Structure 1
Amino acid sequence: MILEAVMLQVKDGMEQEYEEAFRQASSIISSMKGYVSHELHRCMEVKGKYLLLVKWESLEDHTIGFRQSPEYQEWKRVLHHFYDPFPTVEHFDRVSLF
C-alpha cells in the first residue's frame, strides 16, 4: 500500500466552494480500482491550505489507473481550477508501523 500526499493551496475566498466540490469529487476517486481511503485536512495556521492523503493499493493504481482514466478528467474539471499554485503530488511507502 502507498500513501499519496498533496499539499493544496486554494485560491483566497474559495475555501467553502472548494470543500463542497471536494465532497462531490470524493465519489469519483473512491470508485477507482486500487483505492483504499482518503482524507482532506484543513490547515489551522494558513488560510486556504489543505493536505490531501490518499491510500492506494499500488503506485500504478494512482499514476496509471486513476491518472489515465476518464474519471480523472472529471476530477480535474471539478477541482483543479481552485488551486494556485498547482500542487505537487508525492508518494510514500510505509517504513514502519508504531
Structure 2
Amino acid sequence: MVYELAVLRIHEGKQAEFEAAARQAIPLFQRAKGCSGMEIRHSVETPTEYHLIVKWATLENHTVDFRGSEDFQSWRALVGPFFAQPPEVQHLESTFVGF
C-alpha cells in the first residue's frame, strides 16, 4: 500500500467551491485502478490548505495508471482552477501503526 499525500493550497474565498468540486471527483478515484480510498482533510490553522490522501495498491497505480488517464484530466479540470499554486505531492509507505 502506498499513500499519496498532496498538499493543496486553494485561492482565498474559494474553499467552498473547491470542496464541492472535489466531492464531484469521488467517482474518478473510485474507479481508478489500484485505488482503495481517498479523503481530503482541511487544515485547522491554515484555512486555504487541504491535504488529499489517496490509498494506492502500488506507486505505479498513481504515477502511471491514474496520471495517464482521462479521469486524471477530469480531476484537474474540476479542482485545478482553485489551486493557488501547484500541489506538493509525496508518496508514503507505512513504517508501523501504533493503534
TM-score class normalised by the smaller sequence:
over 0.9
Match of 2:80 in 1: 80
Taking the aligned partners of 2:12 and 2:23, their CA distance within structure 1 comes to 19
Local SS of the residue matching 1:44? coil
Matched AA of 2:52? L
In angstroms, what is the RMSD of aligned CA positions? 0.8
Taking the aligned partners of 2:87 and 2:66, their CA distance within structure 1 comes to 17
Matches within 5 A, 1:1-98: 1-98=1-98
Structure 1: runs of 5+ lacking an equivalent: none
Identity of aligned residues (%): 33
Residue 29 of structure 1: how far off its partner (Å): 1.4
**Across the two proteins, how many residue pairs are aligned to each other?**
98
TM-score normalised by L of structure 2: 0.95
Local SS of the residue matching 2:25? helix
